[in-house]
Amino acid sequence: MVLARILIAQRRVDEAMRLLSRLHEVARTNGRLSNVIELLNLQARAAHFVGNTAQSLTKLEEALLLARTEGFVRVFVDEGSPMARLLYEAVAHDIVPDYTRQLLSAFPLSDPQQSPAPASNNNQLAPLTHREIEILRLIGDGLTNPEIASRLSLSLNTVKSHTRSINAKLDVSNRMQAVNRARALGLIDTI
């Protein structure tokens, strides 16, 4: 699995996918459920890396269905922000939504290599809705609330309500902090 991770990091995704496929068969044959789930997660990440969203979500759904039965959490959380992005995609596509939201709530708010997150009740990421992520992206693009309302055909009050919800879920006090936190978590693209 380490070699597959290295191949993905080196952008040698085809080689990584072939290796992951072989490892997946061996793990499945030997009944090693945690390894099967981890390998499916890696396959999902690799497919996502090359822009194959359909394959990525298929592999992730398979992993989620297997993991839900036994309540696996760490195998997802240990993958960090790339997995958080995939899980948000899963929520947006209504893939095992309850379990996926449960997993997202287990992700820490900040990366340990970054500055500490502000104090909060539980320092856990509350799942953002698809609409909230969409609004966050537009905020990150520099749009004002009236511009966002116009672009998304929403009322200004609805945009403000979503923005307050985003700030509360990310435990921040303003729009720029929300964008910075979302970028650090990999929820929206960095510039």
- How remote is the C-alpha of 153 from its chain's centroid? 26
Residue 120 lies in a domain: no
Look at residues 64, 88, 105 and tell me which one is the last residue of a structural domain. 105
| Per-residue pLDDT at 28 | 93
Closest CA to 159 of 179, 187, 134: 134
Same domain, 6 and 94: yes
Instruction: Answer for the pair 164, 128: CB distance below 8 angstroms, yes or no.
Output: no
Residue 119 lies in a domain: no
| Per-residue pLDDT at 128 | 81
Interaxial angle between packed helices 156-170 and 175-185, expressed in degrees from 0 to 180 and rounded to the nearest 10? 60
Range of the domain at 181: 130-185
Same domain, 156 and 94: no
Same domain, 47 and 92: yes
Residue 124 lies in a domain: no
Residue 44 lies in a domain: yes
Residue 123 lies in a domain: no
| Per-residue pLDDT at 125 | 56
| Per-residue pLDDT at 161 | 92
Same domain, 101 and 8: yes
- Into how many domains does the chain fold? 2
Same domain, 6 and 85: yes
Please report which helix (H) or strand (E) contains residue 1, including its range: none
Which CATH number covers residue 161?
Answer: 1.10.10.10
Instruction: Answer for the pair 85, 130: CB distance below 8 angstroms, yes or no.
Output: no
Instruction: Answer for the pair 162, 177: CB distance below 8 angstroms, yes or no.
Output: no
DSSP single-letter state for residue 116? P
| Per-residue pLDDT at 121 | 38
pLDDT by 10s per residue, the chain, length 191? 899 888 888 888 999 999 999 999 999 999 999 999 999 999 999 998 888 989 999 999 999 999 998 889 989 988 888 898 899 888 888 899 889 888 888 876 544 333 333 333 344 456 788 898 899 999 999 999 999 999 999 999 999 999 998 988 888 888 988 888 887 777 777 54
Same domain, 10 and 101: yes
Same domain, 26 and 74: yes
Same domain, 25 and 95: yes
| Per-residue pLDDT at 126 | 62
Same domain, 50 and 100: yes
| Per-residue pLDDT at 98 | 87
Same domain, 99 and 134: no
Same domain, 87 and 170: no
| Per-residue pLDDT at 84 | 86
